[in-house]
Chain A
Amino acid sequence: MLELSPALAEYSDFFFEGFRNTLILAIGGLIGALVIGIIVASLRVWGGPVLSPVGTAYVEFFRNTPLIVQLSFCAVLFAPRNLNITADPIVVGILGLSIYTGSYVAEAIRSGILSVDPRQVEAARSLGLTQFATLRLVVLPQAIRTVIPPLGNITIALTKNTAIVGAIAANELLKVAGVIETRTASFDGYIAALIAFWCLTIPLAFVVSRIERRLKFAR
């Protein structure tokens, strides 16, 4: 591929740096989103009348506003003028992606927990299991099955959303392709970026649909 395009050959290191950053954004964003999602879902399910509305408000607000607005807000917040932190745009990007994606993860986890029949919890409790043991041995093993397919779909969406982080000056694939285009007037960077994104999202989608089918039959 590199022989076909002098522009890509010249900037191949730069391009692979972009690919690496896209991977870092996706993996970092997923970990952050899982942490936020678990906390927010716990708030919604077990938070009681005071904390569960906070969880609901989090989910509804961040799910219904554009990612680019949330990312730009984070970028401004960490700018020297406000918090006196000049943060790496990759770090800000991971934070923004985590906040946004966390609201979707929270919903997936919550619906997983709610998919377990409450009578099972009552039965386990009346057999003498503690609340924690009930959660660990009865609820979570079943909830996982409902949670995995939507989590996979959220991961695909997250991977695609990393392209937006380029707008706050992080050198991910799409941004790198743009820089190559300005410097060499060659469109090859964009073609390569497209193929690189497909190499991530298409296998992911394939794996997710396989898991989805298997879990459907398992029940």
Chain B
Amino acid sequence: MMVAEGGRPRLGRTAIGRLVVVVVVAALITAGAVSGALPARRWEPFFQASTWTFLGEGLLVTLVVGGIALVGSLAISVPLGMARLELRGVLGGLVTAWIELVRATPILAILVIVFLGLPRLGVRLEALQAAVIGLIIYNSAVLAEIVRAGIASIPRGEVEAARSLGLGYVSTMRFVVLPQALARMTPAIVSQLITLIKDTSLAFILGAQELVGYGRSFFNFYGNSMETYVVLAILFFLICYPLSRFSRRLEAHQPVAERVVVPGEADQLAAATP
């Protein structure tokens, strides 16, 4: 809200914008209700507390799966990214090939192959475990590229200075390179977290019960599939939108030369635009 010179309150640009969006959404809902495509009674279950304890359970599973997958991917990605940067010869080729092949594969294909393939090798696992393993495989490869780009962005002279002061490779990495690289990587990691959280929704295709799976059980009972998908989309939006704002804010404070962007990942590019 801004006050114009005349003393009369005037709506600011963003306030008008928000008003317009609210009006459009309200018009869409009214049009849906009037045309009979979205009758009000199918929204009624969303006013019951039991609905929200049920969907909340699903949301919790999604957040836990996302959290475990993030921690697992980060833990694997640091050594993987360093190996990609430092290893030469056959071993280096293998690491590069692994990262590139995983990143060239659709995430759903990885999830399905883990879920159906590992039992063939004698590993028993449930759908949710398979989903976590698949998410870790894919995201650790992407994060490894972020780690590599982050480490590579630190000037060579700093490493040489540290080495000439007598620090070993591990100490140089631990005290000089990684702390700085990690700071530069943070916006890219947050962007990847958005991709990861959106991708947890694929677990229901394997038969796992996470937020979308809970939503499907819910609308199978009430027969309000369209309305439930709208609510599910809003729940995901409420998690991912603040993260994308956060990532953009972090990046805005970063000099352009220090930005770490991994090509091929759509959400990374989204954060990189002002």
Contact = CB atoms under 8 A, between A and B. Distances in A.
Interface of A: 49-54, 56-57, 60-61, 63-70, 72-73, 76-77, 82-83, 101, 104, 107-108, 110-111, 114, 149-150, 153-154, 156-157, 160-164, 166-167, 174, 178, 181, 187, 190, 193-194, 197-198, 201-202, 205, 208-209, 212
Nearest to A57: B21
A69 B236 contact: yes
Nearest to A63: B270
A63 B243 CA distance: 12
Contacts of B120: 187
B152 interface: no
A66 B198 contact: yes
Contacts of A162: 106
Contacts of B107: 160, 163
A164 B226 contact: no
For the complex of A and B, list the 4 residue pairs with the smallest distance between their C-beta atoms, beginning with the closest.
A53-B17, A163-B106, A64-B240, A111-B273
B109 A150 contact: no
Contacts of B264: 153, 156-157, 205, 208
A197 B269 contact: no
Nearest to A56: B17
A83 B270 CA distance: 33
Most buried by B among A66, A70, A194: A66
Contacts of A157: 264-266
Interface in B194-229: 194, 198-199, 201-202, 204-205, 212, 225-226, 229
Contacts of A76: 225-226, 229
A146 B229 CA distance: 35
Contacts of A51: 20
Secondary structure dominating the interface of B: helix
B24 A54 contact: yes
B269 A104 contact: yes
Nearest to B230: A73
Contacts of B21: 53-54, 57
Nearest to B104: A201
Interface of B: 13-14, 16-18, 20-21, 24, 37, 100-101, 104-109, 112-113, 116-117, 120, 194, 198-199, 201-202, 204-205, 212, 225-226, 229-230, 232-233, 236-237, 240-241, 244, 263-267, 269-270, 273-274
Secondary structure dominating the interface of A: helix
A197 B104 contact: yes
Given A53-B20, A69-B232, A104-B270, A164 B237 contact: no
B202 A164 contact: yes
Most buried by B among A64, A150, A193, A198: A64
A163 B111 CA distance: 11
20 contacts: A54-B21, A64-B198, A66-B201, A68-B202, A68-B204, A73-B226, A82-B226, A83-B37, A107-B269, A153-B266, A156-B264, A157-B265, A160-B104, A160-B107, A163-B106, A166-B108, A194-B113, A197-B104, A198-B101, A205-B100
A174 B202 contact: no
A153 B263 contact: yes
Given A107-B269, A197-B104, A68 B233 contact: no
Contacts of B13: 49
A149 B233 CA distance: 29
B212 A64 contact: no
B112 A68 contact: no
A205 B102 CA distance: 13
B205 A167 contact: yes
Contacts of B17: 49, 52-53, 56
Nearest to A200: B104
A161 B249 CA distance: 28
A54 B270 CA distance: 18
A216 B263 CA distance: 14
A216 to B, nearest CB: 12
B273 A68 contact: no
Contact of A65 (B100, B226, B240): B240
